[in-house]
Amino acid sequence: MEIDWNLVVQIIIPLVAAFLGACAVHAFERKPKLQAWFLHAGAIQIKADSPFKVHTHVIVLKNAGTKSANCVRISHTTLPDFSVFPDSEYKIIDLPGGGKEIFLESLVPGQTLNISYLYDPPLTFDQIHNGIRFADGVATQIPIKAAPVVSKQLEVTAGVLMSVGFITLIYLGVLLFSHLMAL
């Protein structure tokens, strides 16, 4: 049985074009992408005449998209003392169930905000937040893991080795394809 390569090409080209078109639309589509990191949750012992302890944590919000993220709402079951850095305009909205929201009008593409919280025990960071959303959806919460910084030399070496491996795979694929065509 002989393969009709003309027919194969006529079938594959539209499929590849559709795939590349979908990739291009996804890559160039203008939309907000709100990301949130919950950073260090800690307890600080204050040494005073009568020592006491305070808890703290930080949320970092970033619009990693290509369009402004509008109507950003950080919901809280209880709202402790906090500060926003860099200094930005926000509103506190009381919710019907007793919670509160920090409302930010918008985050432009690439903008990052830190919201630092300070509160007394027995309240802990997991009892404070109730989600982060904006006009186009919900913020992606990115887990943070402490890891050592990789040296630039190791990054370059890994990049070169991956490139050599990729080129080798392409070469072997072309070689296999030409071998199959010769049959």
- Report domain extents, the chain: 34-142, 150-183
On the question of pLDDT at 36 being above 90, the answer is yes
| Residue 178 pLDDT level (bands cut at 50, 70, 90) | confident
pLDDT for 151:
93
pLDDT tens sequence across 97-150: 889 999 999 999 999 999 999 999 888 888 898 899 999 999 999 988 878 888
Express as a percent the part of the chain with pLDDT over 70. Answer: 99
On the question of pLDDT at 159 being above 90, the answer is yes
Q: Which amino acid is at 30?
A: R
pLDDT for 94:
94
Contact between 102 and 92 under an 8 Å Cβ cutoff? The reply is yes
For tokens 């990693």, what's the residue? 64
Spatial CA neighbour of 90 closest among 67, 113, 62, 56 = 113
Measured CA to CA, the distance from residue 135 to residue 133 in angstroms comes to: 7
Query: Three-class SS of residue 146?
Result: coil
Which pTM value belongs to this model? 0.69
N- to C-terminal Cα distance for the chain?
Answer: 12
Residue 52's DSSP bridge partners are 46
Q: Which residue has the higher pLDDT, 179 or 170?
A: 170
pLDDT tens sequence across 1-23: 677 777 777 888 888 889 998 88
pLDDT for 1:
61
Mean pLDDT of the chain: 90
Spatial CA neighbour of 41 closest among 86, 94, 80 = 80
pLDDT for 84:
96
Contact between 128 and 80 under an 8 Å Cβ cutoff? The reply is yes
Q: Which amino acid is at 163?
A: S
Would you tell me which CATH number, out of the four given (2.60.120, 2.60.40, 1.10.3470, 3.30.43), belongs to the domain 34-142? 2.60.40
Q: Around Cβ 57, how many Cβ atoms within 10 Å? A: 21
Spatial CA neighbour of 32 closest among 7, 76, 62 = 62
pLDDT tens sequence across 58-98: 999 999 988 999 999 999 999 999 999 999 999 999 999 88
Measured CA to CA, the distance from residue 115 to residue 74 in angstroms comes to: 10
Tokens at 97, concatenated: 């169930």
Spatial CA neighbour of 115 closest among 166, 81, 141, 149 = 81
